[in-house]
Amino acid sequence: MSGDTAVRSGDTVVRSGDPIVRAIGLAKHFGQFQALKAISLDVFRGEVLCIIGPSGSGKSTLLRCVNQLEKVTDGALWVDGELVGYRREGDRLYELTESQIARQRLATGMVFQRFNLFPHMTALENVIEGPVQVLKRPKAEAIAEAKTLLARVGLDHKADAFPVELSGGQQQRVAIARALAMKPKLMLFDEPTSALDPELVGEVLTVMRDLARSGMTMIVVTHELGFAREVASRVVFMDQGQIIETGPPSEILTRPGNPRTADFISAVIS
Amino acid sequence: MLNQAAGRETGTDIAHLRHVPRRYWGRYVSAGLILLFLGFLVDASAHGKIEWRFVGQFLTVPSILYGLANTIIMSILAMALGVVLGVIIAIMRMSANPVLRAVSLGYVWLFRGTPAILQLLLWFNLALVFPTVGIPGVWEARMVDVMTPFVAALLGLGINQGAYSSEVVRAGLLSVDTGQYEAAKAIGMARLKALRRIILPQAMRVIIPPIGNEFISMVKLTSLASVIQYAEILHNAENIYYANARVIELLIVAAIWYLVIVTILSLGQAQIETRFARGAGRRGTVS
C-alpha cells in the first residue's frame, strides 16, 4: 500500500502502525450517478488529512461514508480496525443492525457545514446530550467535562445560550465541542467554515488548529487552502469521484503533478 | 410633479403643520349596523319563546354537570389515545420498514375514510360480530359487558383521531431539518432515541397549533357518542328535554358549556406553545 511510506508534517513524522481508516475499492452510487469510484486510501493515527476538490467531486460523500451517514455500495472500509457496516462470517458479509452501526459511529465525531446544533437545547445541553444519553455518563460528570470543552473552544461564557443566540462561528465551535465530548478517535469535518461569514472563519480554524496540535486524527473536507498548507500532514485532491493525487501539502498545493489539481488550485486562489 | 410641489412649498412651510389621521368612516358605519343587529337579536330572544330562567336553572343541575364531566373526560382520554396512536402511526409511516409503512397507510386510509359516527356504531355493536372476547381457556368475557358506551366511545373517537393526528405529527417530523437527524446519528444515537430527544421536541412547535385545533374538534365530536348512549352533556340535555320539552333552553345550556371548555382550551394552547418555543429565536435574533 502507498500509505506505508512515512508522511511528514513540518518536522514531525506522524505515521504510525495500523491505519485508523482504510478504504479499498470504495464506491458509492446514488441511483445511476456514481459519487465515488474505487477509492483506496489509508489515514493514520495522528494525521490531519485535508480533502480538497471541486464541488460534486465526492469529498463530502467519502467523509459521510466513514461515519455511515451514507452506505457504501461497493468495496470495503475499515475504521479503527473494524469493518464498517458489516460483519464477516466465512466468505459472506452480513449487514450490521442499526444499534451496531450506532456503536461503530462512536469512533468518529462529525462537524457539519451547517453546524446542526440542536436548537431546543443550550450550548451546554448540546455538549452533554451524547455523553448522558448515549454513553450513559453521570450528568454532573458530563457537565464538568462539557464546561472544560466549552472553555477549550473559548465559549465557557456562552454555556447557557441557545444556538439562535450565537454567531455562526460560535455555533460551529459548540458543534466541535459536542463532537469532542464523545471522545472520538477520529474527527471528521465537512466543510466546517463554508457556511460562515468571512470574518468568523478564523475563530473556527484556530480551534481546529489547536485540535490538530493536540494530536487528534482529523479528516477535513475544506476549501481553506491556507489551513491545509499549514496544518495538513497530507492533502488529497478529488475530482469526479476519484482521488487524483495525494501528498504532503507543500507538494500538492505548490507543484501539483496533475493538471486538474493545478487548475483547481489556481481557480480557488484567484 | 413632485419636484414642482417641493419647489413651491419649502421644507420649513410644511414641517410645522399638524398631522391629521385618516378617518375610517366605514368602521363606524359597520360597527353601528352590527350593534343594531345584536340589539335586534336580544330583543327577539326576549320576546321569542325562550324561557331564559330555564337556561339559568338547568345550567348547573347534577345531570348536566355529570354530562359535562363525561364530555371532558372523554375528550381528554380520546385525544390522548389519538395523539399516542398518531405519533406511532406517523413514525411507522416514515420508517424504512415497508411492512410498517403499509400498516400505517392502511390505518389512515381506513379510519379517515369512514365517518366517525359509523365507527362509533361499529364498535358499540361489535357484540353482533364477536359475542365473546378473550383468550380461549384463559380469560373470556361477553362482548356486551366489555364494550360499554364508554369503551366504545373511547375506541371509536381515539382511533379515529389517531388517523388525523398521525398526519399532523408527520407534518411536524418533516418540518425538522434532516441535518438534525444526521447530527443525532453522528453522536451515536439510535433512531428512536433521536426521535424522542431531538426530532419530536422540535416538531412539537409545528404540531401543537393543529393538535390544539383537533382537540377543540374532539370536544365537540364527543357529542356523537350520544348516539351510543354515552352520558355526555348533549345526551343528558336531550334526556331532560324529552321529559320537559324545553328543547331550545337545554340546547343553549349545552352550547354554553361547550363554549366554556373551548375557551379554556384555547387559553391553554397559548401556554403550551410558549413552552415549546424554547430556543426558537424568541430571545435572540433569527438568522
All cell numbers assigned to A227: 489551513
Q: List CB contacts (< 8 A) between B286 and chain A.
A: 164
Burial string for A69-87 (b: 16+ CB within 10 Å, else e) reads: bbebeebbbbbbeeebbbe
pLDDT given at position B130: 86
Q: How many Å lie between the alpha carbon of B68 and the closest alpha carbon of chain A?
A: 38
CA distance B102 to B79: 24
Main-chain dihedrals φ then ψ at residue B160, nearest 5 degrees: -60, -45
Candidates A116, A165, A186, A188, partner chain B, best to mutate (most B CBs within 10 A): A116
| CA-wise closest residue to A176 among A139, A212, A150 | A150
B13 or A264, greater pLDDT: A264
Our CA-based measurement puts residue A85 at a distance from the nearest CA of chain B, in whole angstroms, of 14
How many Å lie between the alpha carbon of A68 and the closest alpha carbon of chain B? 9
Instruction: Count the residues in chain B.
Output: 287
Domain boundaries, chain B: 52-280
Compare CB distances from A116 to B179, B279, B280 and report the shortest one's residue. Answer: B179
pLDDT score of B10: 67
- Whether residue B185 and residue A106 make contact (CB cut-off 8 A), yes or no, is no
Q: Which residue in B185, B188, B279 is closest to A162 by CB distance?
A: B279
Residue-level pLDDT at B17: 86
CA distance A13 to chain B (A): 30
Closest residue by Cα to residue B90 from B167, B161, B177: B167
Judge whether A203 and A171 are in contact, CB under 8 Å: no
Mean pLDDT in residue range A183-197: 95
A124-160 residue pLDDT tens: 999 999 999 999 999 999 999 999 999 999 999 999 9
Residues near A144 by beta carbon (within 8 Å), at least 6 away in sequence = none
Which three three-digit cell numbers place residue A18?
Answer: 495500523
Residue A152 neighbours by CB distance under 10 Å:
17
3-state DSSP assignment of residue A60: helix
Within A159-252, strands assigned E span: 186-190, 217-221, 234-239, 242-247
pLDDT higher than 70, residue A181: yes
Grid cell digits, residue A195? 457556511
What is the pLDDT, as a whole number, of residue B281? 58
* C-alpha B98: how far from chain center: 31
Q: Which residues does chain B have within 8 Å of residue A116's beta carbon, measured at their own beta carbons?
A: 177, 179-180, 182-183
Q: What is the 3-state secondary structure (H, E, C) of chain B?
A: CHHHHHHHCCHHHHHCCCCCCCCCHHHHHHHHHHHHHHHHHHHHHHHCCCCHHHHHHHCCCHHHHHHHHHHHHHHHHHHHHHHHHHHHHHHHHCCCCHHHHHHHHHHHHHHHCCCHHHHHHHHHCHHHCCCEEEECCCEEEEHHHHCCHHHHHHHHHHHHHHHHHHHHHHHHHHHCCHHHHHHHHHCCCCHHHHHHHHHHHHHHHHHHHHHHHHHHHHHHHHHHHHHHCCCCHHHHHHHHHHHHCCHHHHHHHHHHHHHHHHHHHHHHHHHHHHHHCCCCCCCCCCC
Which residue, A104, A64, A70, A59, is CA-closest to A86?
A104
pLDDT at residue number A3: 39
Candidates A98, A116, A166; nearest CB to B191: A98
> What is the structure's pLDDT at B286?
39
pLDDT tier, A11 (very low <50, low <70, confident <90, very high otherwise): very low
Q: Are A77 and A22 in contact (CB under 8 A)?
A: yes
Judging contacts by C-beta atoms under 8 Å, the chain B residues touching residue A192 are none
Q: What is the least distance, in Å, from the CA of B10 to any CA of chain A?
A: 46
**DSSP H/E element including A33:** strand A33-44
> Cβ contacts (< 8 Å) between A191 and chain B: which residues?
none
Measuring CA to CA, which residue among B221, B249, B231 is closest to residue B165? B221
Q: Is A212:A249 a contact under the CB 8 Å cutoff? A: no
From the list B183, B189, B284, the residue facing A133 with the nearest CB is: B189
Best B97, B187, B202, B286 residue to mutate vs chain A (most A CBs within 10 Å): B187
Residues in a beta bridge with A239: A242
85-144 in chain A: CB under 8 A from chain B: 98-99, 102-103, 105-106, 108-110, 112, 114, 116-122, 129-130, 133-135
Contact state of A116 with B202 under an 8 Å Cβ cutoff: no
Of B187, B190, B284, the CB nearest to A130: B187
**Is the domain B52-280 a CATH 3.40.50.880 member?**
no
Query: Are B279 and A98 in contact (CB < 8 Å)?
Result: no
Please tell me the predicted confidence (pLDDT) of residue B273. Answer: 83
Mean pLDDT, contiguous 10-residue spans, chain B (287 residues): 55 82 92 95 84 89 95 96 96 94 96 94 91 83 88 96 96 95 95 93 91 93 94 94 92 95 90 79 44
Euclidean distance between CA atoms A186 and A216, whole angstroms:
7
Beta carbons of B187 and A178 less than 8 Å apart: yes
Note the pLDDT of residue B229. Answer: 92
Do the Cβ atoms of B188 and A110 come within 8 Å?
no
At B256, the amino acid letter reads I
ipTM score = 0.89
Using an 8 Å CB-CB cutoff, list chain B residues near A133: 189, 193, 197
The predicted pLDDT at position A269 comes to 82
Mean pLDDT of chain B: 89
Q: Is the dihedral of CA A146, A148, A149, A150 positive or negative?
A: positive
DSSP character at residue A165:
G
Three-state secondary-structure class, residue A82? strand
Backbone phi, psi, residue A239, to 5°: -150, 135
Closest CA to A194 of A216, A170, A221, A174: A221
Residues with Cβ within 8 Å of A125's Cβ and at least 6 positions away in sequence, in order, are A118
Q: What is the pLDDT of residue A9?
A: 43
Nearest by CB: A133 against B180, B197, B201:
B197
Say what the pTM is.
Answer: 0.81
By residue count, chain A amounts to 270
The residue of A61, A66, A164, A171 whose CB has the most chain B CBs within 10 angstroms, and thus the best one to mutate to test that interface, is: A164
- Across all residues in chain A, what is the average pLDDT? 91
Inter-chain touch B177–A116, beta carbons under 8 Å: yes
Chain A residues touching residue B183 (CB < 8 angstroms): 110, 112, 116-118, 175
How far apart CA A192 and CA A111 sit, in angstroms, is: 7
The confidence score (pLDDT) of residue B115 equals 95
* CA distance linking residue A226 with residue A235, whole number of Å: 12
Q: Whole-angstrom Cα distance, residue B104 to residue B111? A: 11
